[in-house]
Amino acid sequence: MTSSRRRPYTEQRPQDLGGGVWSVPVPIPGNPLGYTLVYAVESPRGPVLVDAGWNHPDAWEALRGGLGSLGIDVAGVRGVVVTHFHPDHAGLAGQVREVSGGWIAMHEADAALVRLMRGFSDGEQRGFQADMLRRAGAGPGEVDVATADRPRPPAQPDRELADGDLVDLPGRKLRAIHTPGHTPGHICLHLEDADRLFTGDHILPDITPHVGIYPFDRDDVDPLGDFLSSLDRVGELGPLDALPAHEWIFPDAGARAAVIRRHHEDKLDRLAALLSERAQPLTIWEVAAMMTWNRPWADLAPALRGMAAGEAAAHLRTLEARGRIRRVSGLDAVRFEAIES
């Protein structure tokens, strides 16, 4: 997944992007993405951050020091608007709130997930993961190593956003655009007074974001279908400059959205063809092991296999919703088979 244009964290620097917008790279310990780009948007009553970074002492020092190098004191931050609840985006929002007394805002769908996660004990979370992996067809050994401890849930937001809401940013127009897929409550943020779009993880310049379904065997949601519709919606906004949470800033978010959509449509076609060639229905785990990833299945770490299974499940669910495949029930794990045309 490493791009020749992606610079390591040690080569990244805080930047003044002009128009009252700054970026600060905040490291993600042990993650090949390297860093999250946290943005600060100026207002007469103090800056608002877009995302905050991973909750780790090194990340906190990078955020605080990076903002300081740009003349911004964390204590003066008005609020943090989080593009989605994942720990590399929301992790430090609570610490910023403690120092500044500001607010945290998040889409209502992700805020509901944070409430749910904060109510789970560590044992309940591990049990949920183990049961989900077993129903996907993972073997006992794979279940055991894939249910390691997860990061603590982020701080509960003070404010919940809906699609089209304006963020509390006096003198600017920063509008929440609901772009579900990567998470149910992912938002992009349209800085309407500058034709810029903070894309979070929805649209990245080189890689495609993870779109999974959890639990894997749900049939009442279609996150990949939502994601594809969200890509179309970004395209309708016009050729905005994209400020993503990872990699680098790039022009024309809509053009990149169209490329990502074609990638997933091709992947759906390949998956449908794979199922049509099989004489027996396949479990989600079996399908994931046959799909193409950035490295061979055997080389994927347990946590990455779980993410791959989630992504396989999302693609299977979209094919099911389109009437191209069906699930087979009554077995030890959910299975899927092609529908002959």
Structural domain tally of the chain? Answer: 1
Tell me how far apart the alpha carbons of residues 284 and 217 are, in angstroms, rounded to a whole number.
Answer: 8
| Position 3 in a domain | no
| Position 152 in a domain | yes
Give me the pLDDT at residue 331, please: 67
Give me the pLDDT at residue 2, please: 30
Please give the full DSSP string across 125-149, using - where no structure is assigned: HHHHHHHHHHHHT--HHHHHHH---
Residue 310, beta-bridge partner list: none
Tell me how far apart the alpha carbons of residues 121 and 118 are, in angstroms, rounded to a whole number.
Answer: 8
| Position 148 in a domain | yes
Q: Which domain holds residue 194?
A: 9-270
| pLDDT by position in tens, the chain (length 341) | 233 355 555 568 999 999 999 999 999 998 888 999 999 999 999 999 999 999 999 999 999 999 999 999 999 999 999 999 999 999 999 999 999 999 999 999 999 999 988 887 777 777 777 777 777 777 766 665 555 556 788 999 999 999 999 999 999 999 999 999 999 999 999 999 999 999 999 999 999 999 999 888 899 999 999 999 999 999 999 999 999 999 999 999 999 999 999 999 999 999 999 999 998 999 999 999 999 998 999 999 888 898 999 999 999 999 999 999 999 976 678 899 999 87
| CATH number of the domain bearing residue 84 | 3.60.15.10
Is-contact 203 83, C-beta < 8 A? no
Is-contact 282 337, C-beta < 8 A? yes
- Kindly report, residue by residue over 66-96, the tens digit of the pLDDT: 999 999 999 999 999 999 999 999 999 999 9
Pick from 338, 336, 331: which is nearest to 135 by CA? 331
| Position 310 in a domain | no
Give me the pLDDT at residue 3, please: 34
Pick from 205, 160, 152, 157: which is nearest to 178 by CA? 160
Please give the full DSSP string across 1-25, using - where no structure is assigned: ---TTPPPGGG---EE-SSSEEEEE
Tell me how far apart the alpha carbons of residues 118 and 115 are, in angstroms, rounded to a whole number.
Answer: 5
- Kindly report, residue by residue over 219-263, the tens digit of the pLDDT: 999 999 999 999 999 999 999 999 999 999 999 999 999 999 999
Is-contact 22 15, C-beta < 8 A? yes
Give me the pLDDT at residue 115, please: 93
| Position 48 in a domain | yes
The identity of residue 279, as a single letter, is A
| Position 327 in a domain | no
Residue 175, beta-bridge partner list: 166, 190
Give, in degrees to the nearest 5, the angle at Cα 149 between 148 and 154: 145
| Position 284 in a domain | no
| Position 81 in a domain | yes
Tell me how far apart the alpha carbons of residues 137 and 158 are, in angstroms, rounded to a whole number.
Answer: 39
Is-contact 90 154, C-beta < 8 A? yes
Residues 6+ apart with CB under 8 A from 47: 40, 41, 72, 76, 77, 78
Is-contact 182 264, C-beta < 8 A? no
Residues 6+ apart with CB under 8 A from 2: 32
Tokens found for residue 82: 């989080």
Tell me how far apart the alpha carbons of residues 56 and 86 are, in angstroms, rounded to a whole number.
Answer: 14
Tell me how far apart the alpha carbons of residues 172 and 260 are, in angstroms, rounded to a whole number.
Answer: 30
Give, in degrees to the nearest 5, the angle at Cα 286 between 285 and 291: 95
Q: SS3 for 104? A: strand
